[in-house]
Structure 1
Amino acid sequence: MTGDVTGAGVADRSFTVTPGDPEEPTVARMLRRSEEYAHELYPVESVHMLHVEELRSPSVRFLVARAKASGAPLACGAVVLYPDRTGEIKRMCVDTGARRQGVGAQVLAALESAARVEGVRTMRLETGVAQPEAIALYRTFGYAERGPFGSYRDDPLSIFMERHLDD
């Protein structure tokens, strides 16, 4: 995805969402904190995250929201693009200090936009039951619960969701 997606709907438009590098030190720290948080909430077998090096794959679009004033990362997310015109949201995380400011919604909107450019028609994701804010965000965007997909197995700690981008 090229260009910026600014914080539409956020009164001060104080951040931008652009392609990023998951190995850039401040972004890598955010990703590590996200992993640590996931491991606090769930047992190892219920955490399904791409490793940082996998986020640099040609089939992944990785985006970072940054504060305009400082350049500090506020959130990041990735979408994996599959040949069957589906995309899977991976590694969505928002810095604790940036929550409830619309940053996560803008990263999700930008990921969907990047997926549309690549011809994706259906977006899927797996999230955990202990993350009600993430679940609410996905529902707001029109994601509905569905069963496991791909290599996922049914897990009482997981919620699987899907959205058709044409809807």
Structure 2
Amino acid sequence: MDYVQVALTDPEVVPLLTGLRQEYETRYGHGAGDSVLDVAASEFESPTGAFVVLVDGGTTVAGGGIRRIDETTVEVKRMWTNPDYRRQGHAIRMLRELAGLAGQLGYRTVRLETGFAQPEALALYRGLGFVEIDSYGPYEHASAFELDIDAVSNTPRH
């Protein structure tokens, strides 16, 4: 398996966005999947952002992106793991990869939001030591988290 830095519009990202959209529709209801398009693709581009996928042969296993919030803070968005590859540590490794890229870009803090219908994500972020903060995005009932980039980079490997 290889981590590949791509543009949000690249073909490797299509399965991720499709899967994420379907997952949001299932968990939150009709129309919820439209949120995967609420951030311009350019926000995930260098020099202030990035998008990474984990590819196994021709299969997109996992992915996620980072985008700038301010000079020291980056937001992780579009985190998703293919259901056939879940519970194998890919989300933790993807967060570590994204945090490493963010650190290279000069950021010090990782911030993210997730929804109430994603208990696996809530447990993951809490388990990794993310601190719950006030919701900052447009999503109603979202849980927001923040963590020092060095702490993400040093999470135990599973």
Range of TM-score over shorter length: 0.7 to 0.9
Q: Does 1:23 align with 2:17?
A: no
Give the drift of 1:56. Answer: 4.7
CA distance in 1, matches of 2:49, 2:80: 16
Q: Does 1:155 align with 2:140?
A: yes
Q: Does 1:106 align with 2:93?
A: yes
Within-5 A mapping of 1:14-93 = 15-42=1-28, 44=31, 48-49=35-36, 50-51=38-39, 53-54=41-42, 56-58=44-46, 59-67=48-56, 70-93=57-80
| Alpha-carbon contact 1:55-1:78 (below 8 Å) kept | no
CA distance in 2, matches of 1:18, 1:140: 26
Give the drift of 1:139. Answer: 1.9
Q: TM-score, normalised by structure 1?
A: 0.76
AA paired with 2:45?
Answer: S
- Residue 47 and residue 138 in structure 1: after superposition, are their counterparts in 2 closer, same or farther (change >3 A)? farther
CA distance in 1, matches of 2:97, 2:139: 29
Give the drift of 1:118. Answer: 1.2
AA paired with 2:17?
Answer: L
**Where does the alignment leave 5 or more consecutive residues of structure 2 unmatched?**
152-158
Q: How many residues align?
A: 148
**Partner in structure 1 of residue 148 of structure 2:** 164
CA distance in 2, matches of 1:161, 1:90: 12
Q: TM-score, normalised by structure 2?
A: 0.80
Give the drift of 1:121. Answer: 1.2
Q: What is the aligned-residue identity percentage?
A: 28
**Where does the alignment leave 5 or more consecutive residues of structure 1 unmatched?**
1-14
